[in-house]
């Protein structure tokens, strides 16, 4: 499956996988120009403790720790942030003086939330492809709800009804099923009817530990996708 994916989806999946390995919600996003060249990439970093300058990461659980370390220098990562979503980090990595976002397309592994939908509108990204639905927090409907915010409407394509979409939902289910994951219950509740196969496969993956030793690299991402797909084939309901 990995080799048959568009390069755009491979990049977005790599970001989601790297987020998963780092202990953050496995959402990834990448922005490409109209010629298919990669402009930027980003991932969810809500629960990440360290990163490079210029990206959103962390949340209040780590704020006291970061204050203690004196992290407020110019150019430091922007921490203590619940805004550290994949789409936000992909957008923030773009130099708006050098790139016309109206001619670009974002590929996101997951349906954007209300915050990221607003950021896509405000920054006038030309198009969004998203692979998998988010039964709880997804607000792709907002992208088409208020055309007054833009001169030209954003093109929205998604969610996909394919193996990639189900694999991404399974990766997210595996993340949320993790023991003692804060806030998991309200997230997983709507999934039990919207994506029961992803829940079943996520439980099996968690208990097997098959994803545990894979690195946050493109090779690790390709291997993870293969493992998820095999598990889904074994978990047909």
Contacting residues toward Zn ion, per CB under 5 A: 85, 113, 115-116
According to DSSP, the residues that pair with 106 across neighbouring strands are 31, 128
CA 159 from centroid of its chain's CA atoms: 14
Find the Cα–Cα–Cα–Cα dihedral 119, 123, 48, 174, rounded to 10°: 60
Query: Tokens representing 210?
Result: 């098959």
Q: Which is nearer to Zn ion, 117 or 198 (CB)?
A: 117
- Give least dist CB 114 to Zn ion, A: 8
Q: What distance in Å separates the CA atoms of residue 134 and residue 105, rounded to the nearest whole number?
A: 20
Query: Tokens representing 97?
Result: 């003086």
Q: Which is nearer to Zn ion, 70 or 186 (CB)?
A: 186
- Give least dist CB 12 to Zn ion, A: 14
- Give least dist CB 44 to Zn ion, A: 8
Q: Which is nearer to Zn ion, 43 or 85 (CB)?
A: 85
- Give least dist CB 168 to Zn ion, A: 15
Q: What distance in Å separates the CA atoms of residue 91 and residue 81, rounded to the nearest whole number?
A: 16
- Give least dist CB 146 to Zn ion, A: 17
Q: Which is nearer to Zn ion, 116 or 164 (CB)?
A: 116
3-state secondary structure of 106: strand
Q: What distance in Å separates the CA atoms of residue 76 and residue 51, rounded to the nearest whole number?
A: 9
Compute the half-sphere exposure of residue 70: CA atoms within 13 Å on the CB side of its CA.
1
- Cβ distance 117 to 91 under 8 Å? no
Q: Which is nearer to Zn ion, 110 or 229 (CB)?
A: 110
């Amino acid at each position: 499956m990995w080799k048959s994916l568009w390069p755009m989806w491979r990049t977005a999946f790599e970001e989601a996988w790297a987020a998963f390995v780092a202990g953050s919600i496995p959402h990834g996003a990448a922005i490409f120009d109209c010629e298919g060249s990669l402009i930027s990439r980003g991932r969810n970093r809500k629960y990440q403790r360290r990163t490079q300058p210029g990206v959103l990461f962390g949340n209040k659980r780590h704020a006291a720790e970061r204050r203690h370390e004196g992290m407020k220098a110019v150019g430091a990562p922007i921490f203590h942030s619940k805004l550290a979503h994949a789409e936000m980090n992909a957008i923030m990595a773009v130099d708006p003086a050098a790139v016309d976002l109206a001619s670009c397309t974002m590929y996101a592994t997951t349906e954007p939330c209300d915050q990221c939908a607003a950021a896509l509108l405000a920054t006038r990204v030309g198009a969004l492809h998203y692979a998998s639905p988010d039964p709880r927090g997804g607000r792709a409907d907002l992208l088409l709800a208020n055309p007054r915010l833009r001169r030209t409407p954003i093109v929205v394509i998604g969610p996909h009804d394919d193996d990639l979409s189900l694999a991404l939902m399974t990766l997210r289910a595996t993340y949320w099923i993790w023991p003692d994951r804060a806030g998991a219950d309200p997230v997983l509740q709507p999934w039990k009817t919207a994506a029961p196969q992803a829940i079943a496969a996520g439980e099996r993956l968690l208990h097997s530990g098959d994803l545990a030793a894979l690195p946050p690299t493109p090779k690790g991402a390709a291997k993870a996708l293969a493992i998820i797909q095999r598990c889904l084939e074994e978990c047909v309901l």
